């Protein structure tokens, strides 16, 4: 477990954040640079984070009494702390988005009980394997967000960009925690790969259909030519292009998240956001 700590730049750090959405300037409806499709995509993902983060935390806590490695115990505690704050701050953003008129994201955000019911149908090891696979997705996206100037420019609203950069940083800090918990309980390799295979096939189509449904539920967004042009730009741009290739490495037997080296990127953004002159130092409570 020590190797994971060293490669990830130390233990994940729990930062109690407080973002200021809509202050001093109110958020606009299509806050991602007037991009309807990207605004709906971020809104949908943000709505899914609070119930999703709670589920991730529960998946790890189910095995808390089986974790004997003291280093892994500390990493798990930090993972839980980070995920809890992620949920809180995305809930704050979500309230702003719901007020602007995003009906489907509002519906998605309220599905916590449905998620709990689904969890009860899954064996605990499968639930943990789902979390580990989801953490790989978020780590890949986080690395893209933090390494692409083009993605940075897409965020539009500066406080939304701050939230996404902070969230991305912490996803890289804890990217291997649930994976290491899964290994520590001798989770079968075939199950880990099988679950990611299903997610690999269905995640992008399901998210794509979700964004389409979100746009349909938002009458001001009914601008077919604009939406088609923005959808093409999103698919061909740095968020989606080549994404499945980076996800696919998870399917290799013997894969470990720390085989994807993000240490330099992590150190750079730890300094940029939370160093002595860090951009988000004043957002830490």
pLDDT in tens, 252-267: 999 999 999 999 999 9
Which pLDDT belongs to residue 23?
A: 86
Return the percentage of the chain with pLDDT > 70, whole number: 96
- CA atoms of 208 and 210, how far apart (whole Å): 5
Range of the domain at 64: 33-275
State the DSSP string of 52-91: HHHHHHHHHHTTGGG---HHHHHHHHHHHHHHHHHHHHHH
Is 85 within a domain? yes
Which pLDDT belongs to residue 5?
A: 56
Is 72 within a domain? yes
Length reported for the chain: 285
Which pLDDT belongs to residue 25?
A: 85
Is 186 within a domain? yes
The residue ranking higher by pLDDT, 225 or 5, is 225
Query: 115 and 55 in contact (C-beta within 8 Å)?
Result: yes
Is 244 within a domain? yes
Which pLDDT belongs to residue 24?
A: 83
- CA atoms of 41 and 208, how far apart (whole Å): 8
**Structural domains in the chain (count):** 1
Q: Which of 19-28, 30-39, 132-141, 262-271 has the lowest mean pLDDT?
A: 19-28
Is 46 within a domain? yes
State the DSSP string of 188-231: -HHHHHHHHHHHHHHHHHHHHHHHHHHHHT-GGG--HHHHHHHH
Residues 6+ apart with CB under 8 A from 141: 168, 171, 239, 243
The pTM assigned to this predicted structure is: 0.94
- pLDDT digit string (tens) for 161-214? 999 999 999 999 999 999 999 999 999 999 999 999 999 999 999 999 999 999
Return the percentage of the chain with pLDDT > 90, whole number: 93
Which pLDDT belongs to residue 271?
A: 97
Which pLDDT belongs to residue 96?
A: 96
Is 82 within a domain? yes
Q: Which of 22-26, 145-149, 280-284 has the lowest mean pLDDT?
A: 22-26
Work out the pLDDT band at 39, boundaries 50, 70, 90: very high
Q: Would the pLDDT of 1 be above 90?
A: no
Is 10 within a domain? no
Which pLDDT belongs to residue 228?
A: 98
Is 9 within a domain? no
Query: 17 and 82 in contact (C-beta within 8 Å)?
Result: no
Q: Would the pLDDT of 6 be above 60?
A: no
Which pLDDT belongs to residue 7?
A: 52
State the DSSP string of the chain: -HHHHHHTTSS-----B---TTSSSPPPTTTTTT-HHHHHHHHHHHHHHHHHHHHHHHHHHTTGGG---HHHHHHHHHHHHHHHHHHHHHHHHHHHHHHH--HHHHHHHT-HHHHHHHHHHS-HHHHHHHHHHHHHHHHHHHHHHHH-HHHHHHT-SHHHHHHHHHHHHHHHHTTTHHHHHHHHTT--HHHHHHHHHHHHHHHHHHHHHHHHHHHHT-GGG--HHHHHHHHHHHHHSTTTTTHHHHHHGGGSTT--GGGS--HHHHHHHHHHHHSTT-TTGGGB-
């Amino acid at each position: 477990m020590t190797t994971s700590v060293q490669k990830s730049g130390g233990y994940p750090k729990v930062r109690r954040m407080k973002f200021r959405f809509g202050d001093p300037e109110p958020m606009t409806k299509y806050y991602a640079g007037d991009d309807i499709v990207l605004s709906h995509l971020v809104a949908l993902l943000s709505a899914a984070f609070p119930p999703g983060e709670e589920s991730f935390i529960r998946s790890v806590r189910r095995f808390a009494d089986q974790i004997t490695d003291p280093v892994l115990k500390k990493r798990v505690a930090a993972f839980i702390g980070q995920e809890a704050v992620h949920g809180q701050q995305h809930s704050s953003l979500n309230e702003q988005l719901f007020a602007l008129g995003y009906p489907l994201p509002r519906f998605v955000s309220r599905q916590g009980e449905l998620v709990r019911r689904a969890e009860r149908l899954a064996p605990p090891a499968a639930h943990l394997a789902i979390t580990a696979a989801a953490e790989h997705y978020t780590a890949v996206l986080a690395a893209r967000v933090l390494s692409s100037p083009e993605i940075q420019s897409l965020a539009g609203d500066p406080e939304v960009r701050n939230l996404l950069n902070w969230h991305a940083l912490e996803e890289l800090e804890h990217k291997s925690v649930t994976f290491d918990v899964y290994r520590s309980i001798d989770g079968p390799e075939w199950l880990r790969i099988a679950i990611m295979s299903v997610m690999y096939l269905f995640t992008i189509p399901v998210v794509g259909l979700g964004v389409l449904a979100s746009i349909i539920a938002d009458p001001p967004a009914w601008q077919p030519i604009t939406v088609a042009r923005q959808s093409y730009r999103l698919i061909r741009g740095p968020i989606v292009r080549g994404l499945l290739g980076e996800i696919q490495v998870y399917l290799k037997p013997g894969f470990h998240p720390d085989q994807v080296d993000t240490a330099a990127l992590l150190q750079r953004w730890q300094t940029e956001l939370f160093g002595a002159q860090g951009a988000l130092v004043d957002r830490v409570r």
